[in-house]
Amino acid sequence: MTDEKMDETKKKTKKTAECCGFPVSIFFIVVNEFCERFSYYGMRAVLVLYFRYFLLWDDDLATSIYHAFVALCYLTPIMGAIIADSWLGKFKTIIYLSVVYAVGQVVMAVSTIHDITDTDRDGTPNNFTLHIALSMLGLILIALGTGGIKPCVAAFGGDQFQEHQSRQLNTFFSVFYLCINGGSLLSTLITPVLRAQECGIHTQQQCYPLAFGVPAALMVVSLVVFISGSGMYVKTDPEGNIIWAVCKCIGFAIKNRFRHRSSAHPKREHWMDWANEKYDKLLIAQVKMVLKVLFLYIPLPMFWTLFDQKGSRWTLQATTMSGDFRAFILQPDQMQTVNPILILTMVPIMDRIIFPLIKKCGLDFSPLKRMTVGMLFAAMAFVCAALVQIEIDKTLPDFPSSSESQLKVVNMFNSSLNVTISHKDTLLIDSLESSAGYVTLDHQEITVSLNSSGITKNFSLIAGGRQTLIIPSDPSVMYLKEDIKSKPREGRNAVRFVNGWTAVLNITNLESNLEPTVISNYSLVAQGTRKFVLSNGAQSCEFSQTFGFGSSYTFLIPSTLFSTDCKSIKAVEDIQPNSVHMALQIPQYFLITTGEVLFSVTGLQFSYSQAPKNMKSVLQAGWLCTNAVGNIIVLIVAELGKLPKQWAEYLLFASLLVAVSVIFSVMAYFYTYIDPAEVEAQIRSELGFEPEEEKKKETLEMEDKDKDQQNEQEVKQTKI
């Protein structure tokens, strides 16, 4: 054996330091993953808010760019895997792409400093183009980094284990998943708090630089931790441009099959065998292994399509629920943290109790069965979501359909009025009162008559809209104002005021002063007791109102405002607060998380164990791609619009996933598990190559001999 070859083999079979049966190097890898996931999920937690309130994009643009970014993060693993398996090896790929990632995070954090373009010091950036350009550059670098290293880190972790450590290898993937969720949980709790701080050099703003800066720092820590373990890792070098070789081999097999399509040529066992003429048996066997697994992956994106809706549809569902847990108030988007919390408890329970119990009962719960059951759990989660939605729908107001219009009447006149709409509906409304609820009309052109005064006026209503007719102290100038026709965003409450006072009023929470007889625009207030101060310069009074989640109120200010010390203000409830409790979402979170543990943790292990040694990262990337496709499906579904009833959409997704899991179980039935190392060794020996095991033994023996010689020399020296 040449020296070069010996060095190479020594590297591959290096004995690693162990602790409790685990390679010590694993410690650096899981800590690295923890910090990296903190960095990624922490940045993601505040990203949409940054788009919405810093770059001032509208909701649609902000959510589309956000989902496109997430999808990109799960597509770039292919690039990372190709670099690692064909060119640099996993170790160097992780280091170089982590540098790209950290630079991206820093660029992103810099893009959020408004002072860099706030030349007039008014607290708002003056050059949005620069901020947008910097943040897009940052996001692209982050996507390249996070996606690129993701398949390599998991596979590199797996590479640290020796053959006798297969039990520990499975535990590693569980611990790896715990670290992902530990990091993401901490960061999703911390970064929103950092964002809520005020900071800035010239003026005080929400502290986005801190919220993005801390994840950037964690990414640098992640890199440093990874490099610190450098001396302990088992590093396998890439065996040439394997991906290119695989593509050429597949291309040749297809071409060759096509050339020999006549029945004169005997069929071959597998279509890849048509590459036999040109490529060696080992490569063909490896390609077969990879293709078999990739084929199994085809139905899997459907799981992620449901899973990823936690962050969108389920959070929207939470905005129509009450988050009052007495001891604390939970905001709708905070409900998502239930997932990593449950992961942290369920992974150990599954690993230590459930799986061993199932094994004890003599049941075969092979990886592909676990994944199928995981999909069924996710489908059940969506059935639960549908049931919760049905409960919520019972409490939601009946918003108008696209052909209907709804009208409410507010009487600010100093006595009761009989209001007739289109000579049909007559409403008796007391002074400083509103009609009881909205009147639904199937036409838009209406005539309003005030019977006592003989005033009649025509109005054109908005189709599909809700409006309020304000009858001021001078009824002849009655007018319409558009109302919100959905629950206010993020579980907040929409409030507005009608000024029945005789002069301009200043009201806390409102953007501008309120003219007499005018109704203000809505402003949003959070849950809890809120105080409003009303003043006209000379006098002022205050009143408080307790809000739940997702309500809407119109406050009617009478002409007697200051003489009654604000007590005569009348609150009209336009949309009632949410009454279904957010705790009802816990079962669906529990089911989807159980599904995730069965599906995702197993999928990680499966992708590693079934991949040939030189294509471990590639299969990890294939696995991550299923997540990217799932995200893209969510994007498409969001664009195409939804079914008229949300619960029906949930049921549709649940049924689709059940159908997909049936297909997957059939595919899984025909899959035979392999030990890639064994298959490769067998082919090598058939081809007359020196078996890997023999090589390993030889190298270990040589290492031992080296050590013995060293020891002998040391002993001699001591004697001398």
Given the rule CB under 6 A, which residues bind ligand LLOS6N5M? Answer: 41, 180-181, 184, 339-340, 343, 596, 600, 627
Closest separation in Å from C-beta 70 to ligand LLOS6N5M: 10
Residue nearest to ligand LLOS6N5M (CB): 184
- 189/199 with CB nearer ligand LLOS6N5M: 189
- 180/582 with CB nearer ligand LLOS6N5M: 180
- 532/623 with CB nearer ligand LLOS6N5M: 623
Q: Which amino acid is at 56?
A: L
Residue with tokens 């994840």: 215
| DSSP bridge pairs for 534 | 507, 541
Closest separation in Å from C-beta 615 to ligand LLOS6N5M: 20
HSE, side-chain direction, 13 A CA sphere, residue 304: 23
Closest separation in Å from C-beta 41 to ligand LLOS6N5M: 5
Closest separation in Å from C-beta 688 to ligand LLOS6N5M: 42
- 249/343 with CB nearer ligand LLOS6N5M: 343
Q: Which helix (H) or strand (E) holds 459?
A: strand 455-460
CA angle, 444 then 449 then 451, to 5°: 155
The span from the CA of 406 to the CA of 465, in Å, is 6
- The answer to whether the beta carbons of residues 584 and 156 sit under 8 Å apart is no
Rg (CA), the chain: 33
The span from the CA of 8 to the CA of 193, in Å, is 50
What is the DSSP-derived secondary structure letter of residue 505?
A: B
- 36/404 with CB nearer ligand LLOS6N5M: 36
Q: Classify the C-alpha dihedral 252-255-260-265 as positive or negative.
A: positive
Closest separation in Å from C-beta 94 to ligand LLOS6N5M: 15
- The answer to whether the beta carbons of residues 367 and 426 sit under 8 Å apart is no
Closest separation in Å from C-beta 617 to ligand LLOS6N5M: 15
Q: Which amino acid is at 612?
A: P
Closest separation in Å from C-beta 153 to ligand LLOS6N5M: 10
Residues 204-209: contacts with CB within 8 Å, 24+ apart? Answer: 204/123, 205/114, 205/123, 206/53, 206/54, 208/46, 208/50, 208/54, 208/112, 208/113, 209/109, 209/110, 209/112, 209/113
Q: Which amino acid is at 279?
A: Y
Closest separation in Å from C-beta 170 to ligand LLOS6N5M: 17
- 181/661 with CB nearer ligand LLOS6N5M: 181
- 39/614 with CB nearer ligand LLOS6N5M: 39
Closest separation in Å from C-beta 446 to ligand LLOS6N5M: 50
Q: Count of H helices and E strands in the chain?
A: 21, 20
Q: What are phi and psi of 635, to 5 degrees?
A: -60, -45
- 34/54 with CB nearer ligand LLOS6N5M: 34
- 517/600 with CB nearer ligand LLOS6N5M: 600
Phi-psi map region of 436: left, alpha, beta (phi>0 left; psi -120 to 50 alpha): beta
Q: What's the token pair of residue 350?
A: 């599954």
Q: Which helix (H) or strand (E) holds 74?
A: helix 59-75
Chain centre to alpha carbon of residue 13: 39
- The answer to whether the beta carbons of residues 544 and 531 sit under 8 Å apart is yes
Closest separation in Å from C-beta 73 to ligand LLOS6N5M: 10
- 374/558 with CB nearer ligand LLOS6N5M: 374
